[in-house]
Amino acid sequence: MRVGETFKLRVRRENPATNTGTTYQEFDIPYEPGLTVLEALLHAKESFDHSIAIRFSCRMASCGSCGMLINGLPKLACYTQINETSTATITVDPLDHYPLVRDLVTDFQGFFEKHKTVSPFLLRQNIAEQETSKSEYYQTNSELDGFLQFSYCIKCGLCNAACPTMANDSKFIGPQALGQAYRYVADSRDEGAIQRLKAVDHEHGIWRCHFAGSCSFVCPKGVDPALGIQKLRGLTLSKSSASRAGTSLMPVKTK
């Protein structure tokens, strides 16, 4: 596509509160190099129809607000350029597996509730020490490498929208929260592994995943939640022997 040409942006419109059904609205958007789907949507909102509902904030793939289906795939609108898509018409839909608020805006309340169930913060046995700590908790580079990629999660929820298991089981904790469970379990500064593994060891937890891997495929930040879930399974299976030995759940380094 060249400067001066226009392309069609097809936007799904729906307001469940007014029960007016689903329609698609088409806009002709002028192309320019580097134009993102979010900018195209804002152009449509500002110039053609002020009532399009879009959620966005940072415009640079760090807030995780503008997740939507772009030509059927879960993507961040701000992180997807028009020239990445090969079709003449670009269709945008709200994310799957979330309740619809309106147009492209979905409700993340349940998503964040599931995220909370895995205690996504450092847990220490000695809480008084943690609250009054005089220095940082040290960590080697290789210890950091063990979980670093999982800490890039921005809670955009694309993985849960891509997950086929989320489609079948609304109670499934989902790849986002499970990936974050692993992020803290694998952190050498954390001492809450047993509590966290217990929170995911049930029929709507790690065992429900059937390893389609679509969560890892769509993650815009390079997180591999599917890997995290497999690691959680391994750790859960070795949990009893590890707790008997009174050692860390992470593989013990031999000197």
According to CB under 8 A, which one of 35, 54, 68, 69 is a site residue for other proteins? Answer: 54
Q: Which residue type does 191 have?
A: E
Can you tell me which of 5, 26, 28, 46 binds other proteins, judged by CB under 8 A?
A: 46
Instruction: Give the helix ranges, DSSP H, for the chain.
Output: 37-47, 109-117, 127-131, 141-145, 158-162, 164-168, 175-185, 193-200, 214-218, 225-237, 239-245
Cβ closest to other proteins, residue 93 vs residue 103:
103
What contacts 128, CB < 8 A, 6 or more positions away?
Answer: none
Q: 47 or 87, CB closer to other proteins? A: 47
Nearer to other proteins, 52 or 226 (CB): 52
CB of 243 to other proteins, least distance (A): 47
Q: Which of residues 85-144 bind other proteins (CB under 8 A)?
A: 101-103, 105
* CB-nearer residue toward other proteins: 15 or 81: 15
Q: Is residue 227 a contact residue for other proteins (CB under 8 A)?
A: no
Q: Are 118 and 181 in contact (CB under 8 A)?
A: yes
CB of 101 to other proteins, least distance (A): 5
* Amino acid code (one letter) for 249: L
In the numeric block, which tokens belong to residue 41? 């949507």
Minimum CB distance to other proteins smaller for 49 or for 84: 49
CA distances from 226 to 58, 99, 217 (A): 27, 24, 9
**What is the rounded distance in angstroms from the CA atom of residue 54 to the CA atom of residue 71?**
17
161 vs 58: CA distance, rounded Å: 21
From 2, 19, 21, 50, residue interacting with other proteins (rule: CB under 8 A)? 50
Using rule CB under 8 A, residue 47 touches other proteins: yes
Separation CA 159–CA 215 (nearest Å):
4
Closest approach, Cβ 189 to other proteins, in A, equals: 34
**SS3 label, residue 104:** coil
Binding positions for other proteins, 1-30, rule CB under 8 A: 15, 17-18
The correct pick among 51, 126, 139, 247 for binding other proteins (CB under 8 A) is 51
Question: Interface with other proteins includes 233 (CB under 8 A)?
Answer: no
Interface size with other proteins, residues (CB under 8 A): 16
Which residues here bind other proteins, judged by CB under 8 A? 15, 17-18, 45-47, 49-51, 53-55, 101-103, 105
